[in-house]
Amino acid sequence: MSHTLGTAALGRGRRGAPQIGDAVDAASPTPRPRKRRGRGRLRLEIALLTAPAIIVFVGLVIFPVALAAYYGFYQWQGYGPPTDWVGLGNYKIIFTDPAFQQALEHNGLIVVLSLVIQGPLAIGLALLLNQKIRGRALIRVLIFVPYVISEVIVGTGFSLMLQVTGAVNDALHNIGLGFLATDWLANPSIALWTLMGIITWKYIGFAVILMLAGLQSIPDELSEAARIDGASYWQVQRHITLPLLGPTIRIWAFLSIIGSLQLFDLVYIIWGQYISGVAGTSTMATYMALNGRLAGNYGYGSAVAVVMFLISLIVALCYQRFVLHRDLRGAVTQGVS
């Protein structure tokens, strides 16, 4: 690694910082060896700086995914080297298992509903909070609080509040909306919506903050000019603010989609390992935990991981190709130039 990095680094010592080189050359009686040592040193510096992070990252982020692809072809209990080659057998089981199909369907619903619910809500709230109102800083901090609290605590708190005899139903009775009280967690036709409510509660603050950041990058002059030309508040928002907020919305949507595909903690904590399937809230990740680690079938769990990875990858690539291609130019692909 260091070698390839180093040879590529040759150019900079001279072109990047001519003054440094000149100064050194002028001072030193034997410039050439000195310079060569400088190049070697440069290579060494780059290697020392980048190698630890790359090793840790590749070893524990990239390598596991590759390893999963390998283990996915075996039936393997996790002890010793895998020997029981089953080819695509695990994948056949995954795609014919109704439980996985349900999980996939739930993930799909969560992706769409997250975008549909959180997107407009976050944009609306951000527009609202972007006005000059008192206590804006405090409001921003408070709406961000749910995002900082761990999923475990959110899950524990909500599963207590949402019990049939819990605080939510009690509060509904107290304000005269008792007819709305229901079994929020166990009723299969409601559970997914309950989950959506909790997801919205937990992550909307992040979306709002992101949108606010986007709004503040839009110069006031544009909307002021439009208003002088006679545009109403809503016309300004519709024709100036929203289009300019586009990049932020698209980045947020991307993060939201990837997050929805990976959803695990909340479901696993609120609905437990076994009930989520019955309640209709299982996700690919809970399916993986249940049928992989808990069942002691690591070959199968790895295959599920590969499927999740590929779905995320395809979605991410399609999204980048068709939606983000304008925004991301120069941000991720050519971030260093």
Partner 1 sequence: MSAATSGVPSLRARPARHGVQPKHGVKPKHGDKPQKWGNPGVYFIALLFISVSVGPVLYIILGGFRTNSQITVSPAGLPNPWVFSNYIGVLKSVTFWGEFANSVIVGVATTAGVVVLGVMVSFALARYEFRLKGATYSLFAAGLMFPLVVAITPLFIIVKDLGLIDSLTGIIIPQIAFGLPTTVIILTPFLRAIPKDIEEAAAIDGTSRLGFFFRMAIPLALPGVITVAILAFIASWNNYILPLYVLNSQANYTLPLGVQQFSSEYSQDTARVLAFTSLSMMPALIFFGFFQRRIVGGLTGAVKG
Residues 254-313 that bind partner 1 (CB under 8 A): 255, 258-259, 262, 264-265, 269, 285, 288-289, 292-293, 298, 301-302, 304-305, 308-309, 312-313
Contact 252, 122 (CB under 8 A): yes
Choose, by CB under 8 A, the member of 83, 96, 131, 189 that binds partner 1.
131
Choose, by CB under 8 A, the member of 190, 251, 275, 323 that binds partner 1.
251
Q: According to the binding rule CB under 8 A, does residue 28 interact with partner 1?
A: no
Task: Report, in Å, the least distance between residue 298 CB and partner 1.
Answer: 6
Q: According to the binding rule CB under 8 A, does residue 26 interact with partner 1?
A: no
Best CA proximity match to 114, nearest among 254, 215, 248: 254
Task: Report, in Å, the least distance between residue 40 CB and partner 1.
Answer: 13
Task: Report, in Å, the least distance between residue 188 CB and partner 1.
Answer: 23
Q: According to the binding rule CB under 8 A, does residue 144 interact with partner 1?
A: yes
Maximum CA extent, the chain: 92
Nearer to partner 1 (CB atom), residue 58 or residue 242: 58
The window from 85-93, 95-103, 187-195, 217-225 that contacts partner 1 (CB under 8 A) reads 217-225
Q: According to the binding rule CB under 8 A, does residue 150 interact with partner 1?
A: yes
Any idea what DSSP says for residue 178?
Answer: G
Contact 163, 78 (CB under 8 A): no
Helix orientation angle between 98-129 and 242-261, rounded to the nearest 10 degrees: 150
The DSSP line for 57-112 is: HIIIIIHHHHHHHHHTTEE--SSSS--EE-TTHHHHHHHH-HHHHHHHHHHHHHHH
Nearer to partner 1 (CB atom), residue 179 or residue 189: 179
The DSSP line for 103-171 is: HHHHHHHHHHHHHHHHHHHHHHHHHHHTS--TTHHHHHHHHHHHHHS-HHHHHHHHHHHTSTTSHHHHH
The window from 110-118, 163-171, 184-192, 274-282 that contacts partner 1 (CB under 8 A) reads 163-171
CA distance 5 to 50: 9
Nearer to partner 1 (CB atom), residue 26 or residue 189: 26
Contact 298, 76 (CB under 8 A): yes
The window from 4-12, 29-37, 87-95, 110-118 that contacts partner 1 (CB under 8 A) reads 4-12
Q: According to the binding rule CB under 8 A, does residue 35 interact with partner 1?
A: no
Q: According to the binding rule CB under 8 A, does residue 166 interact with partner 1?
A: yes
Q: According to the binding rule CB under 8 A, does residue 119 interact with partner 1?
A: no
Contact set for partner 1, span 54-93 (CB under 8 A): 54, 56-65, 67-68, 71, 78
Contact 163, 183 (CB under 8 A): no
Task: Report, in Å, the least distance between residue 96 CB and partner 1.
Answer: 20
Choose, by CB under 8 A, the member of 95, 112, 170, 325 that binds partner 1.
170
Instruction: Name the residue type at position 23.
Output: A
Task: Report, in Å, the least distance between residue 25 CB and partner 1.
Answer: 13
Instruction: Name the residue type at position 141.
Output: V
Q: According to the binding rule CB under 8 A, does residue 99 interact with partner 1?
A: no
Please give the backbone phi and psi of residue 85, each rounded to the nearest 5 degrees, phi first: -70, 125
